Structure 1
Amino acid sequence: MGKKDGTNQINIEVKIAELELELIRLKIEQVAEEAFLQGVEDGKQQHKWPPMLTNSDLKEIFQCSDTVVHQFKHISGFPKFPYIKARYPRDEVFEWIKNNTKY
Structure 2
Amino acid sequence: MDITFSELESKLLGERLNLLFQKAYEQGVEDAKRKFNFPEVLTKDHLVQMFQIEKPTVNKLVARPNFPKLKNIQARYPRDQVLAWINENSTWVSNNTNYYTQQAI
Same fold (TM over 0.5): yes
Runs of 4+ in 1 over 3 A off after TM superposition: 74-77
Aligned length: 91
Residues 58 and 32 of structure 1: is their aligned pair in 2 closer, same or farther, counting only changes over 3 Å?
same
Counterpart among 68, 80, 87 of residue 76 in structure 2:
87
Match for 2:17: what amino acid? I
The residue correspondences of 1:11-90 to structure 2 (distance < 5 A) are 15-90=4-79
The reply on whether 1:102 has 2:92 as its aligned counterpart is yes
Give 1:78 shift.
2.6
Match for 2:48: what amino acid? K
Residues 32 and 101 of structure 1: is their aligned pair in 2 closer, same or farther, counting only changes over 3 Å?
farther
Give 1:101 shift.
5.2
Q: 2:92 & 2:43 partners in 1: Cα distance?
A: 25
- In structure 1, stretches of 5+ residues that fail to align are 1-10
Structure with more contact order per residue of length (Cα contacts < 8 Å, sep ≥ 6): 1
Q: TM-score, normalised by structure 1?
A: 0.74
Q: TM-score, normalised by structure 2?
A: 0.73
Greater helix proportion: 1
Q: 1:93 & 1:80 partners in 2: Cα distance?
A: 8
Match for 1:102: what amino acid? W
- In structure 2, stretches of 5+ residues that fail to align are 94-105
Kindly, what percent of the aligned residue pairs are identical?
36
Give 1:79 shift.
2.1
Residues 24 and 46 of structure 1: is their aligned pair in 2 closer, same or farther, counting only changes over 3 Å?
same
Residues 33 and 98 of structure 1: is their aligned pair in 2 closer, same or farther, counting only changes over 3 Å?
farther
Structure possessing the higher radius of gyration over alpha carbons:
1
Q: 2:32 & 2:17 partners in 1: Cα distance?
A: 22
